[in-house]
């Protein structure tokens, strides 16, 4: 199970990054149907394939690059689904009842993700569905990381009286997770509504952005349209979304820095605090660079990966704190291959 968890976690990380790459290359509708692509189970490349695709979908000309990006993402997601199915089947005979519940819950989440993937295409990139698909991928990534960390813990352990500053530390951790999830959702909403380049100035946004604030930018259904590719919101609404993402990034930075300081004060969690501070610094730098350099593809994908990295750090901290609160901990001096 430990090896399956590691493989599934790694594959999920790849799928999340591929999803960001697909979205940022405008390949979300690279295939107008689902789960195939123009009626094929691969991206059509030959002239005969293009002719058949033109007959099946005359209103959607084939763009091989976009179709290929979309199908690579689907292949990786399909492989992930099969892997988690194997984990669930293996758990029926070889795992504890609690682990069986977790693996079958992961399988249900993957099925939900597949449904959202289908709706992303059939509803022509409806922003609410796109954001939900993003959050589902991040949730799956965090849960698999949590499961992998638990399966890698050796059975031999001893009681450790350490605590994470009581309820205050745990409360700050819960707040940090909530704040980060909101920021990830805002980032997904920004990307789904093509608002990443609505502001090209720092530190302000297009002059007097406050006078252009539009709460309608956060309406879950948005403006009715046949297709939401390239966005349908007005310029003030896109500015509103972009500014909200920036402002909440400041809140997120303050909360995560506070948590990093609390972690630094705990010997067993100090390494996690360092990684959290470094990850936050990198993410802020990538955010600024994306604005200054006008959203280069590599940096935009890295910004998505950076959000995943921060979420994984908080997931790892939560798992460690949970172990501490249980009173079970492993000393790196006795188990150096595990570490903290």
Report pLDDT digits (tens) over 58-67: 999 999 999 9
Note the pLDDT of residue 338: 42
Query: Is the distance from CB of 34 to CB of 117 less than 8 angstroms?
Result: yes
Q: Give the pLDDT confidence score for residue 168 in this predicted structure.
A: 52
- For residues 170 and 321, is the Cβ–Cβ distance under 8 A? yes
pLDDT band for position 79 (cuts 50, 70, 90): very high
Alpha-carbon distance 173 to 292, whole Å?
32
- DSSP for 158-181 reads EE----STHHHHHHHHHHHHHHHH
- Based on the residue annotation, tell me whether 237 is a catalytic residue of this protein: no
pLDDT of res. 95:
65
Average pLDDT score over residue span 30-48: 93
Closest CA to 303 of 191, 204, 199, 139: 191
Can you say how many angstroms the Cα of residue 7 is from the centroid of all Cα atoms in its chain? 17
Q: At what angle do helices 270-292 and 297-326 cross, to 10 degrees?
A: 160
Question: How far apart are alpha carbons 74 and 114 in whole angstroms?
Answer: 9
What per-residue confidence (pLDDT) applies to 157? 42
Neighbours of 157 (CB within 10 A): 16
Q: Which of 91-95, 141-145, 237-241 has the lowest mean pLDDT?
A: 91-95
Predicted confidence (pLDDT) at residue 204 exceeds the cutoff of 90: no
Q: Residues with Cβ < 8 Å from 306, sequence gap 6 or more?
A: 279, 282, 283, 286
pLDDT at residue number 267: 85
pLDDT confidence of residue 3:
87
Cα angle at 204 between 176 and 217, to 5 degrees?
65
Neighbour count for residue 101 (Cβ, 10 Å): 12
Q: Name residue 329's beta-bridge partners.
A: 158
Q: For residue 328, which phi and psi values (nearest 5 degrees)?
A: -115, 125
Long-range pairs, 154-160, Cβ under 8 A, ≥24: 154/330, 154/335, 154/338, 156/335, 157/328, 157/329, 157/330, 158/328, 158/329, 158/330, 158/331, 159/327, 159/328, 159/329, 160/268, 160/324, 160/327, 160/328, 160/329, 160/331
Computed over every residue of the chain, the mean pLDDT equals 88
What gap in Å lies between CA 220 and CA 28, rounded to an integer? Answer: 19
Q: What integer pLDDT is reported at residue 36 of this predicted model?
A: 92
- What is the arithmetic mean of pLDDT over 313-334? 70
Q: Does the global pTM surpass 0.85?
A: yes
Q: How far apart are CA 12 and CA 73, in angstroms?
A: 11
Using 50, 70 and 90 to split pLDDT, how confident is the model at 212? confident
Q: Could you give phi then psi for residue 273, rounded to 5 degrees?
A: -65, -40
The 10s digit of each residue's pLDDT in 265-320 is 988 889 999 999 999 999 999 999 999 999 999 999 999 999 999 999 999 999 98
Q: Note the pLDDT of residue 153.
A: 57
Q: What's the confidence (pLDDT) of residue 337? A: 44
Q: Of 70, 160, 201, 326, which one is the catalytic site residue?
A: 70
Report yes or no: 315 and 180 within 8 Å, Cβ to Cβ. Answer: no
């Amino acid at each position: 199970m430990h090896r399956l968890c590691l493989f599934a976690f790694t594959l999920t990380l790849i799928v999340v990054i591929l999803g960001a790459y697909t979205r940022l290359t405008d390949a979300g509708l690279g295939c107008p149907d689902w789960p195939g692509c123009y009626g094929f189970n691969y991206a059509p490349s030959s002239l005969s394939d293009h002719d058949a695709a033109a007959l099946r979908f005359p209103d959607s000309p084939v763009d091989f690059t976009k179709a290929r990006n979309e199908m690579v993402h689907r292949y990786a997601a399909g492989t992930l689904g099969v892997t988690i199915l194997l984990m669930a089947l293996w758990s029926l005979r070889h795992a504890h009842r609690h682990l069986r519940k977790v693996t079958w819950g992961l399988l249900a989440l993957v099925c939900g993700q597949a449904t959202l993937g289908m709706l992303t295409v059939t509803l022509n990139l409806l922003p609410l569905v796109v954001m939900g698909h993003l959050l589902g991928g991040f949730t799956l990534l965090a849960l698999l990381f949590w499961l992998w960390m638990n399966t890698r813990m050796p059975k031999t352990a001893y009681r450790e009286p350490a605590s994470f500053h009581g309820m205050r530390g745990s409360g700050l951790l819960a707040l940090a997770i909530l704040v980060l999830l909101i920021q990830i959702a805002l980032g997904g909403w920004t990307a789904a509504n093509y608002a990443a380049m609505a502001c090209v100035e720092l530190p302000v946004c297009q002059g007097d952005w406050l006078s252009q604030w539009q709460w309608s930018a956060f309406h879950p259904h948005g403006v009715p349209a046949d297709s939401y590719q390239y966005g349908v919101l007005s310029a003030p609404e896109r500015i509103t979304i972009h500014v909200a993402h920036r402002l909440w990034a400041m809140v997120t930075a303050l909360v995560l820095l506070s948590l990093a300081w609390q972690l630094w004060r705990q010997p067993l969690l100090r390494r996690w605090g360092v990684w959290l501070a470094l990850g936050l610094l990198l993410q802020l730098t990538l955010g600024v660079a994306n604005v200054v350099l006008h959203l280069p593809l590599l940096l935009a994908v890295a910004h998505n990966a950076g959000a995943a990295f921060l979420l994984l750090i908080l997931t790892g901290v939560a798992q460690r704190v949970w172990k501490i609160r249980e009173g079970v901990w492993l000393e790196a001096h006795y188990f150096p291959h595990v570490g903290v």
